[in-house]
C-alpha cells in the first residue's frame, strides 16, 4: 500500500485516553495500597510467608504510582518537560512494577501450591527468611531484566518533546527483538507457572473431600483474581505492544498496513489497562492475608453498632416532639 496510509494513525488518542485513566488509578491505587501496607506493617512481627510477597507487591505498586503524576502532566501538555534522565527513571519504575507484580504473583502461586499439594514436604522448611531472600532475588532479576531498556533512547535529544514508553523509531528494530525476549522470560514463563500451580491446586481441592470449604473458597477467589489480572491487565498489553512495535518496523521499511492505526489505538488502551494492575493488586491483600478481611469485618461491625447506638437515642426525641 502507499506510504500515505501510514500517516492516518491517531496519535492524539493517547493524550485524550491515558490522563483520566492515570488519575483514576493514582487515586484508587495509592489509597488501597497505602491502607494494605499499613495493615501489614502494623503486625510486622507476625508477618507470614505469603504476606512478605504481598508486601513487596504493594511496594512495587507504590513505586510506580509515585511517577504517575508526571505522566499525567506529560500527556496533558503533550510534551515531556522533566528531562531525559527522569524520563528513563519513570519508564524503569513502570517496568519494575510490571515485572515485579508478575514475579510476586508467581511466588504467591508457587507457595500456595506447595502448602496445599505438598504440605508435609514444606512444613517447617520454608520460613519467612526464605521468602525475604526470594523477594530480594525477584527484585534483582526484575532490575537486571529492565535495565537494558534504559539504554534505548527515550527522548531523542528532546527535539520532539516525547518520552517514549519504548524507543525512537530509529532503534525500533532492535527494541522489537528485545521486547519479544522480554515477553517470553518475564511474562510467558511466569504465566505458565502460575496457571499450572493453581490448576493443580484446584484439582487437589476438588478431589479431597476433607479439605476445609473456606480454604477452597479462598483459593478459588485468589485464582479468579490472578486470572483477572493476567487477562485484563497483562495479556492484552504484551500482545498489542509487540504488534505495535512490528507495525512501526514495517512503517520504517515503508511497508504500511491498514491495521496499523487500529493496533496503535488498541495498544494505547492496553497501556491504560496494564496500569490498572496497581489498583487491582490490593485485591490480593484481601485473599492473601488472613488478617485484613477480619479487620474489615470488625470495622463494619463497629460502624453497625455506632448506627444502632444513635438510632435509639433519637426515638425519645421524636416521641417528645409528638406529645
Q: How many CB atoms lie within 10 A of CB 59?
A: 17
Instruction: Choose among 127, 101, 132: nearest CA to 115.
Output: 127
CA distance 35 to 11: 37
In whole angstroms, what separates CA 226 from the centre of its chain? 10
| Tens digit of each residue's pLDDT, the chain (323 residues) | 444 445 567 778 888 999 999 999 999 999 988 888 887 777 766 667 788 898 899 999 999 999 999 999 999 888 999 988 999 999 999 999 999 999 999 998 898 888 888 877 776 778 888 899 999 999 999 999 999 999 998 887 666 688 999 998 899 999 999 999 999 999 999 999 998 988 888 888 777 765 567 767 777 777 788 888 888 999 999 999 999 999 999 988 888 788 888 999 999 999 999 999 998 888 877 665 544 444 444 554 665 666 676 655 444 444 434 44
CATH architecture of the region 10-294 = Up-down Bundle (1.20)
DSSP 303: H
Continuous segment of H or E residues that includes residue 24: helix 12-41
Cell representation of residue 182: 522480554
- Name which of 43, 180, 200 is nearest 115 in CA terms: 200
Question: Which cell is 145 given?
Answer: 531484566
Which cell is 195 given?
496457571
Cβ-contact 152, 166 below 8 angstroms:
yes
Cell numbers standing for residue 125:
522448611
DSSP-derived secondary structure for 137-161: HHHHHHHHHHGGGGGS-SSGGGTS-
The pTM of the full predicted model, rounded to 2 decimals, is 0.83
Extract the runs of DSSP E, i.e. beta strands, from the chain. none
> 30-34, long-range: CB within 8 Å, 24+ apart, which pairs?
30/62, 30/65, 32/279, 32/282, 32/285, 33/58, 33/61, 33/62, 33/65, 33/278, 33/281, 33/282, 34/62
**Secondary structure class of 305 (helix, strand, coil):** helix
Q: Round the CA-based radius of gyration of the chain to a whole number and report it.
A: 24
The Cα 94–Cα 97 span in angstroms is 5
Largest CA distance in the chain: 89
Q: Collapse the DSSP code of 267 into the 3-class scheme (helix H, G, I; strand E, B; otherwise coil) and give the result.
A: helix
Angle at 192 between CA 186 and CA 198, to 5 degrees: 125
Do the beta carbons of residue 50 and residue 112 sit within 8 Å? Answer: yes
CB 137 within 8 A of CB 213: no
Position 96 scores a pLDDT of 94
* Cα 171 from Cα 143, distance rounded (Å): 22
Amino acid at each position: 500500500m502507499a506510504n500515505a496510509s501510514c500517516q492516518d494513525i491517531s496519535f492524539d488518542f493517547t493524550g485524550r485516553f491515558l490522563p483520566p485513566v492515570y488519575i483514576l488509578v493514582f487515586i484508587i491505587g495509592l489509597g488501597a495500597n497505602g491502607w494494605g501496607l499499613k495493615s501489614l506493617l502494623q503486625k510486622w512481627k507476625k508477618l507470614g510467608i505469603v504476606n512478605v510477597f504481598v508486601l513487596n507487591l504493594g511496594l512495587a505498586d507504590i513505586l510506580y504510582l509515585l511517577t504517575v503524576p508526571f505522566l499525567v502532566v506529560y500527556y496533558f501538555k503533550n510534551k515531556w518537560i522533566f528531562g531525559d534522565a527522569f524520563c528513563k527513571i519513570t519508564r524503569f519504575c513502570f517496568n519494575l512494577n510490571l515485572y515485579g507484580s508478575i514475579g510476586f504473583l508467581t511466588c504467591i502461586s508457587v507457595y500456595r501450591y506447595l502448602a496445599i499439594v505438598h504440605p508435609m514436604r514444606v512444613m517447617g522448611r520454608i520460613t519467612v527468611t526464605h521468602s525475604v531472600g526470594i523477594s530480594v532475588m525477584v527484585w534483582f532479576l526484575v532490575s537486571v531484566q529492565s535495565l537494558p531498556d534504559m539504554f534505548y533512547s527515550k527522548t531523542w535529544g528532546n527535539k520532539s518533546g516525547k518520552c517514549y514508553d519504548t524507543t525512537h523509531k530509529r532503534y525500533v528494530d532492535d527494541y522489537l527483538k528485545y521486547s519479544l525476549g522480554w515477553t517470553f522470560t518475564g511474562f510467558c514463563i511466569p504465566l505458565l507457572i502460575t496457571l499450572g500451580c493453581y490448576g493443580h491446586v484446584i484439582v487437589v481441592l476438588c478431589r479431597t473431600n476433607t479439605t476445609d470449604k473456606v480454604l477452597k473458597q479462598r483459593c478459588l477467589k485468589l485464582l479468579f483474581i490472578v486470572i483477572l489480572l493476567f487477562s485484563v491487565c497483562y495479556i492484552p498489553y504484551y500482545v498489542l505492544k509487540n504488534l505495535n512495535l512490528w507495525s512501526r518496523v514495517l512503517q520504517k521499511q515503508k511497508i504500511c498496513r491498514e491495521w496499523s492505526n487500529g493496533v496503535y489505538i488498541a495498544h494505547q488502551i492496553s497501556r491504560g489497562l496494564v496500569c490498572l494492575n496497581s489498583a487491582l493488586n490490593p485485591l490480593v491483600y484481601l485473599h492473601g492475608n488472613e488478617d485484613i478481611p477480619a479487620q474489615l469485618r470488625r470495622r463494619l461491625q463497629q460502624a453497625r453498632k455506632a448506627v444502632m447506638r444513635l438510632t435509639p437515642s433519637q426515638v425519645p426525641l421524636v416521641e417528645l416532639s409528638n406529645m
